[in-house]
Each structure stands twice: as C-alpha cells, then as structure tokens.
Structure 1
Amino acid sequence: MAQKPGIPKGTRDFSPAEVAKRQYIISTIKHHFETFGFQPIETPSFENYDTLMGKYGEEGDRLIFKILNSGDYLAKADETLLANKDSQKLIPHISEKALRYDLTVPFARYVVQHQNEIEFPFRRYQIQPVWRADRPQKGRFREFYQCDADVVGSASLWQEVELVLLYDSVFTSLGLKGAAIKINNRKVLSGIAEVIGAKDKLIDFTVALDKLDKIGEEGVKNEMLEKGITADAIDKVQPLFNFTGSTEEKLDKLEQLLASSAEGMKGVQELRFICENVKAAGLGQSVLDLDVTLARGLNYYTGAIFEVTAPGVAMGSVGGGGRYDDLTGIFGLKNMSGVGISFGLDRIYLVLEELGLFPETVTENTKVLFINFGDKESLYALKAIQKLRNIGYKAELYPDAAKIGKQFQHADKRGIPFAVLTGDEEISNNLFTIKDLKTGEQLTLPLEDLISKIK
C-alpha cells in the first residue's frame, strides 16, 4: 500500500476559499501601496549564501534554509571538516545558495546592484514568500508571505509619518478597528542604556526589555541580571516598567530621563516629530502608541521602530519595520538611508478570520451552473455563458452530459445558487430556464431577463 503523502511542518495547502481570502488581503495591501506611490519589484526566492548570512544576527542566520549544491556536493568538501563533523564550517563549502529569510536584505542587494538604474528616493513594494527554519506554532510558519514597503534615498522623517498613515489605511480598509501601531526609536534605547551605565550591554538590555509583556517586570529584571547588567542600572530604568500617560507625557518623561544623552535626545526629537505630525494628519481606525519597551531588529534598525498588534486577538505582531540608515552599507553602498514596514499576511488572515471580518463576497463562488444535456445544448449554453462572463459573472458549464441529478448535486455541494437548463424547447424559442436552487423557483426567460434574475 502506497504511503499517504504529506507536506513539511510549518507549510500549508490552501483551499479555494482560503486563497480567495488571502488574495483579498493582498489586493487591499497592494492597492494602498500603489496609492502611496510605491512601485513593485520581485527578487529570486533564493539568494547567494554570502548575500544572506551575517545579516540577521546569530539566531537569524541559524534559521536560514540552506540549499545543497547540485550534483556531488561533498566532492569538494574539506576532508578535515567532514571527519570532524563540523557542520557550521562545512556549510559554506556545500551550500552556495539559501532561501531568503526576509525581503529586506534582498531589497538592499537589489538597490546596490541596480543603483545606476534607480531614481532616488526609491519607493518600492514587494509581496513574496519567505522561509525560516523556525519552530512552527500558531501564527508562525516556516513558509509565509511578507508584504513590504520601503523608501531608500531619503533621511526625511516625513517617510515615517507616511508609513504610519499607510498602516492605518490598510487596516482601516480591512475593517480592523483599534490596531495598535507601536513606535519607538533605536536612539532612545541607546540613550537609556547610556544613562544607566549599560551602553556595552545594549543588545542584552533591549532584548530583555522587549519581553516585558511576555515575562513581566521581575522576569525582565532577572534576565538583565543574568546578562551582567547591574542592580544599580536596573533601578535607574525602573520608570520604564510603568511608562504610562499620553504620547506627549511619555515624550516629556523621556526628555527628563535622557537629558544627559545626546543620542537619546535625538531619538526623542524624532519621535516627537513623527507623533505630532501623524496626530495632525489624523488616523482612521488605528492608534499610534509610543512604547519604550519595543526593541526589534536592532541588528540593522537605527532610528524609528514599528510594530503593529491587533486588538482582542492573542496573535503577536501583524506588522513591523523601522529606519535603517546603513543597511545597504553591508553591500558597499554607504550613506543610503532607508525606512520600511512589513505586513504579516498569514497573521492578518488569522486575525480577520477570528474576528469575522472577511466580507461574504470574498469567497463568492460560481454564480450559475449551466446543465449539460449534450453537445448541441452545450454550444447554445456556452454562447450565453460567454456573455455572462463578459459582464463579470462567474458562470460555468458542467463538463459531462451526466445524469441531471448528479449535476444538481454538484451545484449544491459547490454552493452555486442558480442552475440553467437549455433543452430543445429553450433553444427553439431562444430562451433559458433558470432554477433558484435555494427556493426551488423556476422561470423560463430570454437572456436579458436571465441576467436581471441573477443580479
């Protein structure tokens, strides 16, 4: 007996209804990307190994799927490394390519490679799958789509303002009320580490602080102590554990806390500019939330940091991004500032599903099935089907002249609301008999009236 086939953990098959819902989200995001002036690009699903490695930190590099070289990939491998089973040092010898981990580093490579063809500032969007060798769990997959929008070639903070408005436009269109667009600044985090005397422990400090909503105040303090941050330094950061108030009040508190740090004060000024101008421009159904514990992607973010969460759903972030002043520098192009955001398609899907926010029309099926009585009748039906399709109706002909009951059963299982019958009498009189499969009502009509009935 043949073994039942399966798919790798962390990947999924999608049914027609699921694909329709995913396409609804993608088309909504794409529409707003384009109305904000972003242009589409696409990059290969796999990149050169050296392009990706060393760009995401130790943990990120570990999660990159490596692709074995074609042919006898061990033939040129170092014998000593093979004998010692030193996999980390062996990988570069047997794997020249890897699946992309995100869309940001490939985009940086694209900008450097095509810099002479690009008009800067360059506003690009990209909607493609990425892969991570992560532990699968709810809302986290090994293969998933990212929907990115980035601007490179401008250090203007108006770009950050626009990206907040872009987030709000998309989530408002999707009907997600109260989406929290969290914002922080890498310079603020650096300033805090500086004023508490833990500048050399910036990454350890921020990684622990970022876990406040997951492990609580005591958990964060214990992790900081384990990483060598002193108790005195932790006492100085105590105000951050209960950092409440309006955005203006939070900014004022940060100014007091960071008064002795030039870098920290620069971060506060940037946050103030963004928050004040977003407020002046006005948001739809989203909320901009200054969160001083937010610390994501510190390996390449240099300014504003964004993360979006959905209200009332235990899902984690549904989007994120930030300012990266030197990302293209890793490929030799200096002084190319950029800022970008990403939408997590799969998590947004789960949120909309859980909250019942998909419109019923998204998964609307074939509207009408023409019953197949034979070749002559099918040709007559097909001319009408073409007219229906030309004006935007989903219509199809059952492919076989099977028993009528079987054809009606097929329509029922597919959820098709109307069936059309075209026998000799209908053909002779240039008419069509339409049956409402929910009510059982049956009428014989000319094509124009048939179209009105389907409406």
Structure 2
Amino acid sequence: MAAKPSIPKGTRDFSPVEMAKRNYIFNTIRDVYHLYGFQQIETPAMEMLSTLMGKYGDEGDKLLFKIQNSGDYFSGITDEELLGRNAAKLASKFCEKGLRYDLTVPFARYVVMHRDEITFPFKRYQIQPVWRADRPQKGRYREFYQCDADVVGSDSLLNEVELMQIVDTVFSRFNIRVCIKINNRKILSGIAEIIGESDKIVDITVAIDKLDKIGLDNVNAELKEKGISDEAIAKLQPIILLSGTNAEKLATLKNVLAASEVGLKGVEESEFILNTLETMGLKNEIELDLTLARGLNYYTGAIFEVKALDVQIGSITGGGRYDNLTGVFGMAGVSGVGISFGADRIFDVLNQLDLYPKEAVNGTELLFINFGEKEAAFSMGILSKVRAAGIRAEIFPDTAKMKKQMSYANAKNIPFVAIVGENEMNEGKAMLKNMETGEQNLVSVEELIAAIR
C-alpha cells in the first residue's frame, strides 16, 4: 500500500472556500492600494543568498531556506571539508540561492537594480508569499503571505498620513474595528537620552515593546537584566505609563523631552501626522502609544501597529519610516516608509467575526441541470447569454439522477438552479429554482438574468 502523501510542516493547503476568502482579503487590499496610486511589482521566490544573508541578523540568517545548487554540487569541495561537517560552511558552497524571508530586502535589491527606470518617489506594493525555517506553531507558519506597500525616495510626512488612511480604509471595508497605534523612534531615542541610557536604546525599545504581553514588572526586570540602572528605570515609569488624549500626551512629552533635540523632533513629526489625520475623518481610533517600539531596529521615524478591538490576537498590520533602505546594496540615502498587512491574521479575525460577504465567498451562482443531449444543447445557448451578463454559471457535465445534481448544487452552495426539460424548451424558457426558499418560476432568459442579478 502506497504511503499517505503529506506536506511540509508549517505549510497549508487551501480549499476553494478558503481561497475565495483569501482572495477577498488580497483584492480588498489591492483595490485600496490602487486608490492611493501604488503600483504592483513582483520579485522572484528565490534570491541570491548574497542578497539575503546578513540583512536579518544572526537569528534571521538561520531561518533562511537555502536552495541546493543543481548539478554536481560536490565539485570544488574537499574530503576534509565534507568530513568536517561544518553545516554553515558546506551550505555556503552547496547553496547559492535561498527563498525570500520577507519582501523588504528583495524590494531594496529591486530599487537598486532598476534605479534608472524608476520614477521617485516610488510607490510600490507587493502581495507575495515568504518563507521562514521557523518552528511551526499555532498562527506561525513557514510559508505565509505579506501584503506590503512602501513609498521610497521621499521624506514627506504626507506619506505617513496616507498610509494611515489606507489602513483605515482597508479595515473599514472589512468591517473590522481597529485601533491604529503610532509612535516615533525619535521619541524613544529622546527618552533613552534624558534617562541617561542612550547607548541602551535597542534594549529599552525591545523591552517596552513587550509591555502588553508580559506586564510592567517583567519589563522592568528585563531592563534591569540588560544593565539599565534603577534610577533610569524609575525615570522611565511615568513616560511608559503616560495616559490621556493624544494632544495631552504630546504636550507632556514636549516638557519631558525639552532637553532632547531628537526627542522633540519625534514629537513634532507625531503631532503633524495626528493633527493632519484629525482633519481627514478617520473611521477608526488612532492613538499615540509610547510603549509601541516595533521589533525591527531599522525604523528611524514614525512607527505603526494595528490591533483588532473585537478579537484577542496580535497586531494585524505594522510598519514605519526607515532611512537608507538601499544602503546595504551600495545606494545610500534612500529614505522610505511602509506598511504590511498580516493577511493570515486578518483571515482569522474575519473568520472569528463571520464578516465575509456572501458574494465574496460563494462561487457559482447558477447551475443548469443536465437531462440529456438535447436539453444540454439548449441550456448551453442560455449559458452563453448568462455568462455574458457576468453571472457565474455552469452546467452539470453528466446526465445523472436529479438527486445527485441537486446534491452537487447544495454542496457548492449554489443559490439558483435552472431546470430545462421538454416543456421549457418548447416555450424557450427555463424553470428557475431558488435553493434557499425552494420557490420555482418559469422565466425567459432576460427574466432569469434579472432574478439572479
């Protein structure tokens, strides 16, 4: 007996219903990106390892899926090297390519390679899968999609404003209530400066980013563990726990950070973004959150994160401003700002809240029953007109028992069935059955189209 087939851990098959739901998510995000003038690009699933290595830190490098060279990959490797069993060294000789880990590094590579063809500022979006050799667990996969949008080649804060409008528009279309949280890495640098721990900015941001997950006491314990003084931790408390309206928080920060030039610059940037958005009439709440730090250390300005209000789940969108995206590839000084929608988490939220519109999930709208050769030929003529009118329709391909064909319609959640027998053909009409109500009516082709639309 043949072994039962399987798929790699951390990957998934998607059924037709799941694909309809996923496409609804991707199409909604894509439509909004287009509204704001973003253009789509795609990059290869595999990149040269020289492009990927060293861009994500030591841990990230370990999570890269490496692709074995084709042909005789042993050539040029000595017996001594093979017997040495140094996995990293051998991989560097066996493998020249790897699967992309994210969409940002390939985008940076794209900008450098195509700089002479690109008009700056360049507004691009990408909706593609990425791969990470992570330990699979609930909600964490080895293959998953990212839906990124970035503007590069512009320092204007209007880009940040528009990205927040995009976030608001997308989640309004999904009918998901969210809180858009924003902060600024310059504010965090200013805080580190005034508490006398400028050199520990990374340790501070990594710790306070965990506040909502591990609580204040554990954050303070982690800060102490990283060598931050008790005095500095004490000074940090009122800043981390700052409350009130966005305007009140900004006013307090102006006083607290009065001695920090970089901190005040962060306050000024945040104030512009928040004040401008206030005039735009966002449907969702936007909050200045000083505990928001974002794990990636390449952010240099505004940072964003989006939380769903009606479901317990991690952030469902994130992003921020970064400087020198392309510097690692020898093209310095290209600033950018971007966001990434977490398609898999949005999928889970929409499922939990049952927010998928019926028309987005349902496939075929009309099934023609097949009673035989003559009836099928007549039905095919109507089918052409129905499809020309934009109605998704099919005919059961085989002459089978009525019960079997009706079961097929039920299994696929097809809302209407057209029954064409001898009587219907004589009148040039079809019997249209509403599968939900059970109601049946003899209708012309025009009436059939109108009834379904």
TM-score scaled to structure 1, two decimals? 0.95
**Which residue type is aligned with residue 401 of structure 2?**
K
**8 Å Cα contact 1:123-1:152 kept in structure 2:** yes
2:179 & 2:348 partners in 1: Cα distance?
A: 17
Q: Shift in Å at residue 280 of structure 1?
A: 2.2
> Which residue is equivalent to 2:235?
236
Does the alignment pair 1:360 with 2:355? no
Does the alignment pair 1:436 with 2:434? yes
1:33 aligns to what SS in structure 2?
helix
**8 Å Cα contact 2:21-2:361 kept in structure 1:** yes
**8 Å Cα contact 1:326-1:335 kept in structure 2:** yes
**Which residue type is aligned with residue 229 of structure 2?**
T
With over 3 angstroms needed to count, the CA separation of the structure-2 counterparts of 1:357 and 1:405, relative to structure 1, is closer
**Which residue type is aligned with residue 358 of structure 1?**
Y
**8 Å Cα contact 1:56-1:299 kept in structure 2:** no
Does the alignment pair 1:182 with 2:181? yes
1:254-403 aligned at under 5 Å gives the runs 254-284=253-283, 286-403=284-401
**8 Å Cα contact 1:139-1:350 kept in structure 2:** no
> Which residue is equivalent to 2:133?
133
Q: Shift in Å at residue 146 of structure 1?
A: 1.0
1:68-217 aligned at under 5 Å gives the runs 68-77=68-77, 80-177=80-177, 179-217=178-216
Q: Shift in Å at residue 297 of structure 1?
A: 4.3
- 1:85-107 Cα distance to aligned partner (Å, 9 max, x none): 33233332222111111111111
With over 3 angstroms needed to count, the CA separation of the structure-2 counterparts of 1:396 and 1:53, relative to structure 1, is same
2:371 & 2:64 partners in 1: Cα distance?
A: 56
- 1:17-46 Cα distance to aligned partner (Å, 9 max, x none): 111111111111111101111111111111
Q: Shift in Å at residue 213 of structure 1?
A: 0.9
2:416 & 2:318 partners in 1: Cα distance?
A: 45
**Which residue type is aligned with residue 231 of structure 2?**
D
Q: Which structure 1 residue ranges, 4+ long, deviate > 6 Å from structure 2?
A: none
> Which residue is equivalent to 1:40?
40
1:169 & 1:152 partners in 2: Cα distance?
A: 22
2:243 & 2:436 partners in 1: Cα distance?
A: 56
With over 3 angstroms needed to count, the CA separation of the structure-2 counterparts of 1:351 and 1:90, relative to structure 1, is same
> Which residue is equivalent to 2:11?
11
1:96 aligns to what SS in structure 2?
strand
**8 Å Cα contact 1:78-1:93 kept in structure 2:** no
1:83 aligns to what SS in structure 2?
helix
- 1:379-426 Cα distance to aligned partner (Å, 9 max, x none): 111110111111111211111112222222222222223322323333
Q: Shift in Å at residue 72 of structure 1?
A: 3.5
- 1:294-338 Cα distance to aligned partner (Å, 9 max, x none): 122443211111111111212101111111111111111111111
Q: Shift in Å at residue 224 of structure 1?
A: 1.5
**Which residue type is aligned with residue 141 of structure 1?**
Y
**Which residue type is aligned with residue 293 of structure 1?**
T
**8 Å Cα contact 2:366-2:414 kept in structure 1:** yes
Does the alignment pair 1:427 with 2:419? no
**Which residue type is aligned with residue 376 of structure 1?**
K
Q: Shift in Å at residue 195 of structure 1?
A: 2.0
**8 Å Cα contact 1:186-1:298 kept in structure 2:** no
Q: Shift in Å at residue 80 of structure 1?
A: 5.0
Q: How many residues align?
A: 453
2:74 & 2:194 partners in 1: Cα distance?
A: 52
1:327 aligns to what SS in structure 2?
coil
Moved more, 23-32 or 442-451: 442-451
With over 3 angstroms needed to count, the CA separation of the structure-2 counterparts of 1:444 and 1:275, relative to structure 1, is closer
With over 3 angstroms needed to count, the CA separation of the structure-2 counterparts of 1:277 and 1:340, relative to structure 1, is same
With over 3 angstroms needed to count, the CA separation of the structure-2 counterparts of 1:258 and 1:58, relative to structure 1, is farther
1:407 aligns to what SS in structure 2?
helix
1:372 aligns to what SS in structure 2?
coil
**8 Å Cα contact 2:197-2:228 kept in structure 1:** yes
With over 3 angstroms needed to count, the CA separation of the structure-2 counterparts of 1:355 and 1:168, relative to structure 1, is same
- 1:331-355 Cα distance to aligned partner (Å, 9 max, x none): 1111111111111111111111111
- 1:352-386 Cα distance to aligned partner (Å, 9 max, x none): 11112211222123222111122222111111011
Q: Shift in Å at residue 8 of structure 1?
A: 1.8
Does the alignment pair 1:222 with 2:221? yes
> Which residue is equivalent to 2:20?
20
Q: Shift in Å at residue 439 of structure 1?
A: 4.2
**Which residue type is aligned with residue 24 of structure 1?**
Y
**8 Å Cα contact 1:247-1:289 kept in structure 2:** yes
With over 3 angstroms needed to count, the CA separation of the structure-2 counterparts of 1:12 and 1:74, relative to structure 1, is same
**8 Å Cα contact 1:217-1:241 kept in structure 2:** no
**8 Å Cα contact 1:139-1:315 kept in structure 2:** no
1:303 aligns to what SS in structure 2?
strand
CA RMSD across the alignment: 1.8
With over 3 angstroms needed to count, the CA separation of the structure-2 counterparts of 1:152 and 1:360, relative to structure 1, is same
